[in-house]
Structure 1
Amino acid sequence: MSNNYPLKRLCDVGVSLLDCEHKTPKPNVSGYPYIAIPDIQNGRLDLTNVRRISKEDYLKWTKKIKPQAGDIILTRRARVGDTAVVPEGLECAIGQNLVLLRSDGKQLSQKYLRWVLRSPQYWVQVEKYLNRGAVFDSLNCREIPLFEIPIPPMKIQQKIAAILSSLDDKIEINTRMNKVLEEIARALFHRWFVEFEFPNDEGKPYKSSGGRMIASEMGEIPEGWRVGNLRDLVTFSYGKPLKENDRLGGPYPVFGSNGIVGWHNEWLVEGPGIIVGRKGNPGIITWSPYNFYPIDTTFYVVPLSKDYGLHYLYSMLEKLQLSHLSADSAVPGLNREAAMSEQIIIPQKNVVKIFEMIADILYSLVKTQDEEKRDLRTIRDRLLQELLDGEIIA
């Protein structure tokens, strides 16, 4: 713990807590992001699967509290105490069990606040004020402003924020690069297996170069391809339940329907692998390059043939958008038999083999960038503590 900087309560250094609307708007096909707990990952916002709301609802939900760039979003339930920063240019509303923290800037830099709320000192405060519940743990809005954090002089706050932000910028560059690589893989899949413009024997696009097409119940498909069902290529196996306390620590990611929900010291499935959301966020497809533990809100994919590799199957499942098969209930779920019966076009093995080789290169680069990100996060988090201890900046 810090010995060099005084501990002060958030409410005493000009930090305001802004509470959310305690109700949820209807989802919309397009519109403004409505930030929920699953959209906060590793200290950042991930808007990949964010709910969208109409302009009318956006105006209602931001009348009381309108997020602005630099605000800290804090989770009060589920993954209690996780935080993320509202980036420049994002117009959004925040959902239930989230609050905003905003400094007036007189004693506490907003950029420093971002980092101190990732520190060990902060997590001590979370544990101190945590309300243990039968279903969910939670933080009380009245108690969060009582959190005590180390407060160095403003110039040192700014230096700490600048050093840590430079590392975080590199992490963000890697994240963006990975999105580009993944989009290349998706575009290639669409070009080859949806538009049927895979290379023919002369290396030219098959369909537009006069490749023979045959009729099928799913429309015209290349000669030698066929129509089948998802069960011809894969099966879905059920994830296993895991006690809440078992999700802490360890090198193996624990996957729920919203992605990584924790870490464990044991794995259930040898990676790489594909996870399919079963409950809560049904049909969402996630890729894990590592050994992993899928919990009971998910399926994991078991290929039935080595001729149809995981990269092809991942792209194919993404394209299928299985979420349309979810049952209409209080907790939507993906029916495995309905998914297995989904009609698909099954390409010739030689085309899949070439795609798999290219995709493997792309996803190997993604994995390398991910590993670098993990190393950078470790360096950043260790440096954070040393900076707060006053061991580097005087």
Structure 2
Amino acid sequence: MLSNIRPYFKKAWLANRQGGCCNDVLVVRPDGIDAKYLFAALSTDAFFDYVTKGAKGTKMPRGDKDHIMRYPILRFDNEQNIGSLIFNLNHRISLLQKQVKKLESIAQLIYDYWFTQFDFPDENGKPYRQSGGKMVYSKELKREIPDGWGVETLGDVCKIKLGGTPDTKNDAYWDGDIPWLSSAEIACNPVLSSEKYITEEGQKHSATEWSPSGSVALSITRYLRAAILGVDSCFNQSVVTLEENDLLKKEYLYPLVLSQIPRYLVLRTGAQQPHINKEVVAETIFVLPPMDVLNNYYKIVKPLYQKIITSAKKAKLLNELRDWLLPMLVNGQVKVS
């Protein structure tokens, strides 16, 4: 099944169930050709470039069916092996991506249980609040919090940075080896790569900032999203980062920032480019648990976050391997025994 609207988005799906579709989807039924191999051949950049060149319309271009049907597909004796290889790679990538989402859900649930409901294990291993743990009213947070816990602002307890953009007309600032992120690249957690790279000169002669792997990035323009940096990165002015430290590590900062996004959305200003600024993040008030509670929490969730990053990196590597192999397989440059 091929998305026939805006074909440059390169959307193809090998259906695994019965159903219907709208008129912006083309259904390609295999006839005398292995379905998985056909899917592989129609998943290449070469195919979608071909479709895009023949598309009609400007704002919402649609592929031309007659043009698409003339796309040449090479045939091989081992089509089934080629199709199965690509299918298995896609399946493995999908499993890893699902694992990342599942682990994130578990980690978020633990954070909410400990620091929103305040049912972290007490000295007897029982849920603190449910077991009658002492609560006191916080004027700053306008709610009850466990006795002995503090209230701080993010700007007072961690380093927060706002990015910038090197001069795009200066070639000496670009195509270096330093990842440089835009707000759109904060959509997936963790962030493992960037579309653009800058040089040391570009970093030195601009307002961009650099943050190490493990920092929490927040896009502050339009769609507010958070992600953990899996690589050392610079970033533009639509991104702020919160750098972890001995007190607040990414395992606490990331779910904390996620929990604040609904409030940040309400605080956005601007019509065409609704946004928040760095100060809104820095002035965020939150409850600060004692160090012993934080350490116990880190012991539990740190392996989950390590697994999230490891699984995401595996998915990225398999994705790159598939994209490298795919055009060579369907062009006959590589054979599958």
Q: Note whether the superposition's TM-score is higher than 0.5.
A: yes
1:259 corresponding residue in structure 2: 187
The partner residue of 1:85 within 3, 10, 13 is 13
Percent of paired sites with the same residue: 21
Q: Which has the higher strand share?
A: 1
Counterpart Cα distance in 2 of 1:93 and 1:252: 40
Which letter does structure 1 place at the counterpart of 2:93? I
- Residues 1:247 and 1:91: Cα distance change in structure 2 (over 3 Å): farther
Name whichever of 187-196 and 224-233 sits farther off. 224-233
Equivalent positions of 1:181-192 (< 5 A) are 181-192=103-114
2:315 corresponding residue in structure 1: 373
1:392 corresponding residue in structure 2: 335
Name whichever of 337-346 and 180-189 sits farther off. 337-346
2:202 corresponding residue in structure 1: none
Equivalent positions of 1:45-194 (< 5 A) are 71-73=1-3, 76=6, 80-85=8-13, 100-106=25-31, 111-112=36-37, 114-119=39-44, 121-122=46-47, 125=50, 140-141=61-62, 146=67, 149-153=71-75, 159-194=81-116
Which letter does structure 1 place at the counterpart of 2:163? G
**Could you state the TM-score of these two structures normalised by the residue count of structure 2?**
0.75
**Could you state the TM-score of these two structures normalised by the residue count of structure 1?**
0.65
Name whichever of 373-382 and 155-164 sits farther off. 155-164
Please give the secondary structure, in 2, of the residue aligned with 1:369. helix
The partner residue of 2:221 within 258, 262, 279 is 279
Cα deviation digits, residues 32-84 of structure 1 (max 9, x gap): xxxxxxxxxxxxxxxxxxxxxxxxxxxxxxxxxxxxxxx2236749xx44335
Cα deviation digits, residues 298-357 of structure 1 (max 9, x gap): 222235x53111210111111122223222512211233333333322222221222223
Which letter does structure 2 place at the counterpart of 1:271? S
Counterpart Cα distance in 1 of 2:313 and 2:216: 19
Counterpart Cα distance in 2 of 1:224 and 1:113: 63
2:206 corresponding residue in structure 1: none
- Residues 1:140 and 1:184: Cα distance change in structure 2 (over 3 Å): closer
Aligned-residue Cα RMSD (Å) equals: 4.1
Which letter does structure 1 place at the counterpart of 2:248? Y
* Runs of 4+, deviation exceeding 6 Å: 89-94, 107-110, 126-131, 244-251
Task: Give the conservation status (yes or no) of the 8 Å contact 1:279–1:332.
Answer: yes
Counterpart Cα distance in 2 of 1:183 and 1:358: 14
Query: Any stretches of 5+ residues in structure 1 without a counterpart?
Result: 1-70, 132-136
Cα deviation digits, residues 362-384 of structure 1 (max 9, x gap): 11111221222122223323332
- Residues 1:366 and 1:325: Cα distance change in structure 2 (over 3 Å): same
Counterpart Cα distance in 1 of 2:328 and 2:55: 26
Name whichever of 241-250 and 370-379 sits farther off. 241-250
Deviation at 1:358, TM superposition (A): 2.4
Which letter does structure 2 place at the counterpart of 1:85? W
Task: Give the conservation status (yes or no) of the 8 Å contact 2:51–2:64.
Answer: no
- Residues 1:122 and 1:291: Cα distance change in structure 2 (over 3 Å): farther
Query: Any stretches of 5+ residues in structure 2 without a counterpart?
Result: 200-209
- Residues 1:200 and 1:92: Cα distance change in structure 2 (over 3 Å): farther
Counterpart Cα distance in 1 of 2:89 and 2:174: 27
1:224 corresponding residue in structure 2: 148
- Residues 1:127 and 1:203: Cα distance change in structure 2 (over 3 Å): same
Which letter does structure 1 place at the counterpart of 2:226? I
